[in-house]
Amino acid sequence: MNATERKPQYLDLVMVAFVVVLVCANLIGPAKAAAIDLPLLGLVTFSAGVVFIPLSYVFGDILTEVYGYDRARRVIWTGFAALLFAGVMASLVVALPPAPGWPNQGAYEIAFGNAWRVVLASMVAYFCGEFVNSAVLAKMKVWTEGRYQRTRFVVSTIAGEAVDSTLFYPLAFWNSGIMPNELVLTLMVSQFVVKSLVEIAMLPATTRIVGFLKRVEGIDHYDRDTNFNPFALKP
């Protein structure tokens, strides 16, 4: 924390929002391939989770821009622990013997039976993507002396999303039997494009939230002397 910074009031709320969006988007959405017919583009196939996953990057941008990389690092690790718990819970619930006469075990296994692989892939992709996003944004803020905020948000998100998308779909679904490998590649590319576009579309809201938090918190952190090792326990 910089010497002029005071104790944050809204950090816990931002962290909770980040973790809730992260767990829901990564556990519920990725296994479903959706398609919509768009003007000029035609039929576009994408993961259902792509609608919400960019919100985790929005919250990641807010955390890093306002509170700094060190606090963002702790929140990212909190999200990692939440994803791990969700995966363990899903696997255990699926494995529990169903009650006699309960007819939904098959549907439950289809929805959550691959959860262990999806969550492991989510954790790897999330860990790498979020730390890339946060580190790029924090370093660009120092390099630009806090200018070009929207450009920094877009560039850092593109970097993080590229890492996330490249890792997640092959790890989660390649040769999984849930979807053909050709669709895995299609979803990997479309996810990156759509999530980046969603991030750009949300820029007005992101910048307003950042401006509000900086004003009420009295915090505008610059990571000039920060240790960017994601495993570091100290700033």
Residue 229 CB burial class (10 angstroms; 0-12, 13-18, ≥19)? exposed
- The DSSP call for residue 3 is T
Can you read off the two tokens belonging to residue 201?
Answer: 């579309």
Give a three-class secondary structure readout of 30-55: CCCEEEEEECCCEEEEEEHHHHCHHH
The reported pLDDT for the residue numbered 73 is 94
C-alpha distance from residue 146 to each of 58, 138, 211 (Å): 18, 10, 13
Task: State the pairing for strand pair 42-47/33-38.
Answer: antiparallel
User: pLDDT tens-digit profile of 45-76?
Assistant: 666 666 777 788 889 999 999 999 999 999 99
DSSP symbol at 67: I
How deeply is 91 buried, as exposed, middle or buried, from its count of CB atoms within 10 A (0-12, 13-18, 19+)?
middle
CA dihedral 202, 191, 178, 56 (to 10 degrees): -40
Residue-level pLDDT at 72: 94
pLDDT for 142: 96
Please report the DSSP string for 126-184 in residue order. Answer: HHHHHHHHHHHHHHHHHHTTT--HHHHHHHHHHHHHHHHHHHHHHHHHTT-SSS-HHHH
Parts of the chain with a pLDDT under 70: 1-6, 29-33, 38, 40-41, 44-50, 110-111, 113-116, 178, 233-235
How would you class 221 by CB atoms within 10 Å of its CB: exposed for 0-12, middle for 13-18, buried for 19 or more? buried
- Rounded to two decimals, what is the model's pTM? 0.82
Query: All domains of the chain, ordered by start, with CATH?
Result: 11-95+108-217 (1.10.1760)
| Cα angle 10-14-19, degrees, rounded to a multiple of 5 | 150
The amino acid present at 188, given as its one-letter code, is: M
Q: What is the pLDDT of residue 233?
A: 67
